[in-house]
Structure formats: C-alpha cells, structure tokens
Structure 1
Amino acid sequence: MRTVQDDIGHEEDSAPVEMLAALFEARDWPFELASEDEISAEVKGAWATYQFQAIWRPEDHVLQLLCLPDIRVPDNKRAAVYEALALVNEQLWVGHFDVWSNGGVVLYRHGLMLGEDGLLGIDQAQTVVEAAIEECDRFYPVFQFILWGDKTPAEALAAALIDAAGEA
C-alpha cells in the first residue's frame, strides 16, 4: 500500500516550506514558492478551490497556515458574518476563521508552533493541511447561507451542520 510518504520520499522531518512543497507536489496541487519562507497553493475542496498559504517565521518557530475559500463579505453583511464567525469558531479545536480587514475576505488561519529545530514531519504537514481544507469545506455553506440565502448566523450554522451530517 502506497502512502503519501512514499510519494514524497520524505521519512525525516524537513524545513516547513520544503516539506509542504513536497506534499503539494505529491498531490499534484499547483504551488508557488514566494521565498524560502513562504509557499502558496491551489487546493480543490468540496465547495470551491481554496488558496492555501503558509508562512514560516523562523525567529518564532511558527508556521502560519492560511486557507482562503474566496468569500468576500460586503459591508451590509459584515455584522452577520462576524456573528457567524463567533459561532463557527466555537466549533473548532484548532485554528479559527476570520475576516481579513483589507478586502473583507473570509479565511481560516492556524499557527503551528514547531520545536527549536524548526522542522516539520510529513504526518504533521498532512494533518494540518487536511484539517484546514476540512474546516473550510465544513463551514463554507454557513457563509453562503448568510451572503446568498439571507439566513441569520444561527440559522446558517444549523443548516450547514445538518447538511454536512447528512452527506455520505
């Protein structure tokens, strides 16, 4: 049985951006290295294609992961979306959703603290990337129900979680 580890060829921990590049390459996801400390990729989710970015801050040993589901919030819907963010974030164990102040874009963000060596293992890389995609997929409908269905935040969350529970 082939594993992602076989496809990547990494059995040891690597620099975070290098490990993510290997993971994205193994999955045939288009990616671009902006620098040795920053990578971006396009990832197909259940509802949309997400822009995925990772930025390594070696001085803090933190890898910041961003997953953007391409949802822009118009000014007249901001209050409802902010209320929804609070309800959605209560459901999360890691990471959180936010609205980027510049442009009103919804995003999922997670800061991963790595050890003093600043290395990332394949299992950990795979887990955090998949978690970001899964959370975007799980809560994407909440924002759509508010923006396009004129539901209240509570109605949108209830509808999205019922829909997600009903899919096989």
Structure 2
Amino acid sequence: MTQTNTNVNTSTITNSVFEVVSKFFQDNNWSFSQHETEPILKMNYQGENGEWICTAKTREEHHQFIFYSSLPVNVPENKRLAVAEFLTRANFGLIVGNFEIDLNDGEVRYKTSSIEAKDSSISTDLIGQLIFANVMIMDRYLPGIMSVIYANVSPEAALIKVEGLVISEDV
C-alpha cells in the first residue's frame, strides 16, 4: 500500500466499478490506502465489539465488487476446526455474504460481493449496502469467534449467545 489518504490515484486504475467504490469511501469520509497497481483499497474499521481491517476489491473484467472484513488475529492451529464449525453454523442463517477461514494460516474474513452487473450500473448505494451489511455482521459475530478462540466456548454455545437464541426444552 502506498497512499494513506482519501484521494484515489486513478491515473493507473480507470475502472468504473473502482471509481464508484472510491467515490463511496470519499463521500463517507473513510480513510483508506490504495494499492499501487491493483484496484484494491484497505482501511481500518472500528465497530462496537472490536477493530479489524477491511479490503475493497474490484474485478473490472467481471464488473464485480468484493468487500472483506478480516479478523484482527489469525486463529491458532488448535482452534481452527472449532472456529470453522462456528463459522459454518453462522453461515447457515446468513442471507448476505459469508464467513471464510483459511485452514492453512487461520485467516478469517467475512465477504460480501456484487454480482456481475454489465447491463446495469453499480451505484454508491449498492456499494454502501454491501459494506454496511458486511461490517455490521462482522461486528455482531466477532465476540462469538473470539470466545471460541480465547475462552474455550463451544461453537454452538458461542453462536447461541451471539444470535440471542433461546433453546426451549419443549422442542
């Protein structure tokens, strides 16, 4: 990353999707850094439950936008299967986006993305909906993920707490 400001260098990147994404961040006063040659922006995000790194990518050839919120720590090897179970359970009920874990290095991220939209334009409103859904979900589930990693809470119990589910004995 070379720039750490809100002015996007479009001399090397002239993607229309990238420009819309950049405009969203500029209009909303988000500080970000821009990759030197790739259509990638990175920024920190502070939620109610923690801080993490966000990455905005565009795939201009497919007219797509992808937004990631990455867990601020890599999951230790001995906790990866438990976290994977938590994420799988969480993904089952999610409508927009999904959690991912790299079982090799323990990276966890939440991904939202747009579908190919060649015949329609991607707007800052659509970008904003995907970004805000992403950071809200990461913020909601972050305490559950961390409790599985650091407090030895079972994936199922952590999810019940995060989602506020009540298990009835009558079921």
Whether the TM-score (by the shorter chain) exceeds 0.5 is yes
* Distance in 1 separating the partners of 2:60 and 2:17: 10
Q: Which residue of 1 aligns with 2:63?
A: 61
Q: Counterpart in 1 of 2:153? A: 151
Contact 1:33 1:40 in 2 (8 A): yes
Amino acid at match of 1:128: L
Matched-pair contact (CA < 8 Å) for 2:23–2:124: no
With 41-50 and 143-152 compared, the bigger mean Cα shift is at: 41-50
Q: Tell me by how many angstroms 1:117 deviates.
A: 5.2
Runs of 4+ displaced beyond 4 Å? none
Aligned residue runs from structure 1 range 119-138, under 5 A: 119-138=121-140
C-alpha distance 16-45 of structure 1, shift in aligned 2 (>3 A)? farther
CA RMSD of superposed structures (Å): 2.1
Residues 100 and 123 of structure 1: is their aligned pair in 2 closer, same or farther, counting only changes over 3 Å? same
Count of aligned positions:
150
Q: Using the alignment, how far apart are the partners of 2:121 and 2:38 within structure 1?
A: 14
Residues in 1 aligned to 2:24 and 2:98: alpha-carbon distance in whole angstroms: 23
* Amino acid paired to 1:115: A
Q: Is the 8 A contact 2:144 2:162 kept in 1?
A: yes
Structure 1 residue 68: deviation in Å?
1.0
* Secondary structure of residue in 2 paired with 1:29: coil
Match of 1:4 in 2: none
Give the deviation of 1:122 after TM superposition: 1.6
Contact 2:82-2:148 at 8 Å conserved across structures: yes
> Where do 1:1-168 residues align within 5 Å?
15-34=16-35, 35=37, 37-101=39-103, 103-116=105-118, 119-162=121-164
| Shift in Å, 1:159 | 1.3
- The SS at the match of 2:162 is helix
Question: Quick one: percent identity of the two aligned structures?
Answer: 25
Separation (CA, whole Å) in 2 of partners of 1:81 and 1:151:
10
How much has 1:101 moved relative to structure 2? 4.3
Return 138-147 or 35-44, whichever deviates more: 35-44
> After alignment, is 61-70 or 80-89 more displaced?
61-70
AA aligned to 1:48 is G
CA distance in 2, matches of 1:37, 1:110: 17
TM-score, reference length from structure 2? 0.78
- Judged with a 3 Å threshold, the aligned counterparts in structure 2 of structure 1 residues 88 and 71 are, in CA distance, closer, same or farther, namely farther
Contact 1:146 1:153 in 2 (8 A): yes
- CA distance in 1 between counterparts of 2:81 and 2:125 reads 38
Alpha-carbon displacement from aligned partner over 1:68-110 (angstroms, at most 9, x marks no partner)? 1313210111111111111010121021101134531110012
Q: Which runs of 5+ in 1 are unaligned?
A: 1-13, 164-168
